[in-house]
Amino acid sequence: MKITVIGCGYVGLVTAACLADFGHTVTGVDHDSSKIALLKQGTSPIYEKGLTALIRVNTQRNRLFFQTSLDHGVEDAEVIFIAVGTPSLDNGAADTTQVMAVAAELAKYIKDYKVIVNKSTAPIGAAKQLRKVIRDHLETDVEFDVVSNPEFLREGHAVKDFQEPDRVVIGADSPQAQKVMSRVYAALIKKGVPYIQTNLESAETIKYASNAFLATKITFINEIAKLCEAVGADIRTVARSMGLDHRIGPQFLNAGPGYGGSCFPKDTKALAYIGRASGVPLTIVETVITANEEQKARMVRKIKGMVGAALEGRTLGILGLAFKPDTDDLRESPALTIIDNLLAAGAIIRVYDPQAMEEAKKIFKKTLIYCADPYAAAEGAEALVIITDWEAFKFLDFMRLKKAMASPVLIDLRNLYTPAEVEQYGFKYENVGRAGHGDRDLSDLRYPG
Ligand code: UGA
């Protein structure tokens, strides 16, 4: 099949490359000419495991093309995917300006039956609005259908998530569009991947409900971790034992500094907004958003509880800036809130992150000291704080750290270690949900902005 994907960000690019790998002839379109120039040379503008190889192989096989203009991309394709950004507005709602602008533009080139697929995470009802915008801008009186096909791609695992998904969801109001989409995903249907055909609103709701549920699961375990600290229980054992119940499942039960990234914070806010706008406030989702903010604040109190609230001129080491490992993405990373608060209290911050330091330099107005490795970040520090669960932080040399630090204090916000293995080196150790100290009587937390 001939398919065009509009938007070559991480969702669009992975979609284009994977659909080409299924055997379709795919054109990726993006108005960013420098991005397209890179892609034409076989270089991915983003880091995603396996993506560059997929782009190169399918370009060589003449199944994957890139261009900046929409015209032929739309005219020649049977199916057109839209995968552009839907950032948060101030009221939490998702901004569909880019999706609708693309729809208005592509409508001009529709000369025969097309299926237009929205892959961008957009409010419930957006697909129908998309249909209206396209209809209003058609220059030829032809039939077309609109489909909602939400993505469930984790950054860093997006290629695998596309090739081996837990499910594919197709929302459409016409049997003809459903038929076309089952040809698009024939390779996955053949493999037995659960394939859900539903209406537009259900598909749009599935996306938000899934992300909000995962965010709730994380927030729930963070709350239980707080309780564990108060009552002397161990969250690792509690979470593992809960996860062994098949009805609960083991994933997304790692307590930590709060969820971040470009999806959960944005999508929970958008879903809460949809609930309010629909006259059915979603109290769980609203609470999750507040609780996640409180979790980040609690982490700052934890740090102050270990080193003292007066941080003026005191040195702290930070390991990890990215919102999760294997990415340089800092969007909504808990590290940003934590560091902002520590800087506001006057701390001197030494940081190390394997990927995200260049991004961090663009964000922090006050200077951080960027270090070459974890040991350099620990140099002269009164405490070392692990914020991101990078693999590289799981095997630290504690003797070396102790020598480098002004005082041996480890605050492990990802529970990478057990108290016994850290304390045997003479470290004071704090974590999330495995000890009852360091988290009380500090009410001076300030949120930046
Ligand atoms: C998330 C979803 O997992 C994808 O299914 C979805 O398609 C994507 O959003 C999206 O809507 O585009 P992603 O944002 O890449 O993917 O990141 P996750 O791996 O889900 O992690 C999100 C946050 O939760 C991270 O800050 C992570 O550290 C945190 N987390 C995750 C925990 O604190 N504990 C856990 O047990 C799991």
Question: What is the per-residue pLDDT across 191-215, written as a single tens digit (0 to 9) for each?
Answer: 999 999 999 999 999 999 999 999 9
Residue 263 annotated in active site: yes
Average pLDDT for 11-28: 97
Tell me the β-bridge partners of 147.
Answer: 117, 172
Ligand 1 mutation target, pool 153, 166, 220, most atoms within 8 A of CB: 153
How many A from CA of 179 to the centre of ligand 1? 32
How many A from CA of 325 to the centre of ligand 1? 11
Of all protein residues, the one whose alpha carbon is nearest to atom 9 of ligand 1 is 263
Q: What kind of architecture, by CATH, is found in domain 2-198?
A: 3-Layer(aba) Sandwich (3.40)
pLDDT at 48: 87
Of all protein residues, the one whose alpha carbon is nearest to atom 30 of ligand 1 is 259
pLDDT at 437: 41
How many A from CA of 154 to the centre of ligand 1? 6
pLDDT band for position 435 (cuts 50, 70, 90): low
SS (H, E, C) 232-268: CCCHHHHHHHHHCCCCCCCCCCCCCCCCCCCCHHHHH
Ligand 1 mutation target, pool 264, 292, 327, most atoms within 8 A of CB: 264
How many A from CA of 250 to the centre of ligand 1? 15
Ligand 1: nearest atom to the Cα of 161? 5
pLDDT digits (tens, 9 = 90+) for 343-368: 999 999 999 999 999 999 999 866 89
Residue type for position 142:
V
d(C-alpha 38, C-alpha 40), whole Å = 5
How many C-beta neighbours within 10 Å does residue 75 have?
15
pLDDT band for position 439 (cuts 50, 70, 90): very low
How many C-beta neighbours within 10 Å does residue 45 have?
17
Those residues whose C-beta lies under 8 Å from the C-beta of residue 27, and which sit 6 or more positions away, are 2, 3, 4, 5, 16, 64, 65, 66, 67, 72, 73, 76, 77
Of all protein residues, the one whose alpha carbon is nearest to atom 37 of ligand 1 is 252
How many A from CA of 265 to the centre of ligand 1? 10
Those residues whose C-beta lies under 8 Å from the C-beta of residue 212, and which sit 6 or more positions away, are 267, 268, 271, 282, 285, 288
Asked if 318 and 383 count as a contact pair (C-beta separation under 8 A), the reply is no
**Residue of 8, 18, 228, 263 marked active site:** 263
Angle, CA of 95, 88 and 345, to the nearest 5°: 160
Of all protein residues, the one whose alpha carbon is nearest to atom 3 of ligand 1 is 154
Residue 82 pLDDT > 90: yes
Instruction: Of 375, 420, 371, give the one whose Cα is nearest residue 393.
Output: 375
How many A from CA of 222 to the centre of ligand 1? 15
User: Pairing mode, if any, of strands 428-430 and 369-370?
Assistant: unpaired
Q: What kind of architecture, by CATH, is found in domain 211-430?
A: 3-Layer(aba) Sandwich (3.40)
Name residues contacting ligand 1 (CB within 6 A).
Answer: 121, 151-155, 211, 214, 218, 252-254, 256, 259-261, 263-264, 267, 323-324
**Residue 117 is inside which H or E element, if any?**
strand 114-118
* Domain ranges in the chain with CATH number 3.40.50.720: 2-198, 211-430
How many A from CA of 263 to the centre of ligand 1? 7
d(C-alpha 111, C-alpha 229), whole Å = 64
Average pLDDT for 136-162: 96
CA dist list (Å): 236 to 157, 171, 252, 392? 24, 39, 12, 20
Residue environment code for 299-320, b if the CB has 16+ CB neighbours within 10 A, otherwise e: bbbbbbbbbeeebeebbbbbbb
Of all protein residues, the one whose alpha carbon is nearest to atom 10 of ligand 1 is 263
Asked if 256 and 219 count as a contact pair (C-beta separation under 8 A), the reply is no
Say what the pTM is. Answer: 0.93
User: Pairing mode, if any, of strands 168-172 and 144-148?
Assistant: antiparallel
Query: Given the structure tokens 């330091």, which residue do they identify?
Result: 357
d(C-alpha 104, C-alpha 183), whole Å = 26
Express as a percent the part of the chain with pLDDT over 70.
96
Ligand 1: nearest atom to the Cα of 256? 33
Of all protein residues, the one whose alpha carbon is nearest to atom 5 of ligand 1 is 152
- List, as own/partner pairs, every contact residues 416-424 make where C-beta atoms lie below 8 angstroms and the sequence separation is at least 24, other chains included: 416/386, 416/389, 418/236, 422/398
Of all protein residues, the one whose alpha carbon is nearest to atom 19 of ligand 1 is 154
